[in-house]
Amino acid sequence: MQKALIDPFQRKIEYLRVSVTDLCNYRCGYCMPEQGVHPDGHHKEYLSYEELARIIQVFVNLGVTKVRLTGGEPLVRKRLYELVAMIKPFAGLEDIALSTNAHYLEREAEALVLAGVNRCNISIDSLRPKRFENITRGGDLHKVLAGADKALAVGMKPVKFNMVVMKGTNDDEIEAMVDYGIEKGVEIRFIETMPIGPAGVSMMDQHYSADKILKRIKAHIGSDLIPSTDRSDAGPARNFHLSGTHARIGVISAVSDHFCASCNRVRLTARGVLALCLGQEDAVDLRTPLREGVSDSELEQIIVAAIARKPERHFFRENVHNIEFRQMVQLGG
């Protein structure tokens, strides 16, 4: 009988987000402090690609079908395609995705696709170069857009833009992002600011709700938004087709309208901590038993026991000013 990971609330865990580093070359205010997460220069010890691949294999044996490689910025870790090539042959693994700021994507996209990456999500909060530079504290919009174009050219599909909408900072670009998505064939997903870590909590006065975003988009296109019936790649997003186009947009409303009832994911940090919920402290150390020599069957038992502790939901709305226990950049989003 095929194994499956079922949490206490009868949710089937099929999606593993794997952070390969908590370093990033950008410093977006809602994600990372300006000095970075390791201002002393002493980076925590990361799992090797071989260790990551071993943990991923156990998860796939337990029924995980989708792996997303994240950071920090995953492409600051060298030769990421080597990890992709390691896990691509795993029987039962159907999808390998990437989340990136795309700064290095033009250089890396072809090797990643050849190794087995299917799709990518690109974090991009503005289409105005100077504003983009300010939001990211030094980012280069031209490199990001070039990376997106390369991803499309080498066959990543879909390519999605993730825009964190911040009141008074970039909310005047919602319509421009929609137009860009229609023009380029890129799916745009609008994300509410989330109170994760001190950086995220400090920016909650800029929260802009998904309902307001959808109202703006509907007025802009001059017709109704058509709810998507395809849930195969929806994840936490509510997706819509834009009438009269081939474009699709999505909203992720983690604060105003949580999606916990359908949560099918857990997160593995670069240091081997299994985070069971983005908005709760529940976590299990996998690195220590891994390095102490546990067998795969013992590691499997540890993971099954961890999933049995997965909480029912987060409490972003209720605890909007009190969720500071870890940085977004350390969790892989």
User: Does residue 317 have a pLDDT over 60?
Assistant: no
The pLDDT value recorded for residue 59 is 98
Q: Are 42 and 102 in contact (CB under 8 A)?
A: no
∠ CA 231-237-241, rounded to 5°: 70
Least Cα distance to 236 among 266, 212, 258 occurs for 258
- Residues 273-298 have a mean pLDDT of 90
Least Cα distance to 154 among 189, 102, 180, 119 occurs for 119
The per-residue pLDDT for range 149-198, each reduced to its tens digit, is 999 999 999 999 999 999 999 999 999 999 999 999 999 999 988 766 66
Neighbour count for residue 306 (Cβ, 10 Å): 20
What domains sit in the chain, N to C, each tagged with a CATH number?
15-330 (3.20.20.70)
User: Does residue 318 have a pLDDT over 50?
Assistant: no
User: Does residue 221 have a pLDDT over 60?
Assistant: yes
238 against 232, higher pLDDT? 238
CA distance 280 to 218: 34
CA distance 63 to 175: 39
CA distance 278 to 91: 28
Highest mean pLDDT among 26-35, 110-119, 195-204, 280-289: 110-119
User: Does residue 325 have a pLDDT over 50?
Assistant: no
Q: Considering the chain, what is the average pLDDT of its residues?
A: 88
- Residues 242-248 have a mean pLDDT of 85
pLDDT band at 261; cut points 50, 70, 90: confident
CA distance 187 to 163: 11
Q: 207: which strand partners?
A: 166
| Long-range own/partner contacts, residues 219-226 (CB < 8 A, 24 or more apart) | 220/174, 220/175, 220/178, 221/178, 225/249
User: Does residue 291 have a pLDDT over 90?
Assistant: yes
Task: Tell me which of 132-141, 154-163, 305-314 is least confident.
Answer: 305-314
220 Cβ contact list (under 8 Å, min separation 6): 174, 175, 178
Query: Which contiguous run of DSSP H or E holds residue 15?
Result: strand 15-19
Neighbour count for residue 329 (Cβ, 10 Å): 28
Token pair 């834009």: residue: 242
pLDDT band at 76; cut points 50, 70, 90: very high
CA distance 297 to 311: 24
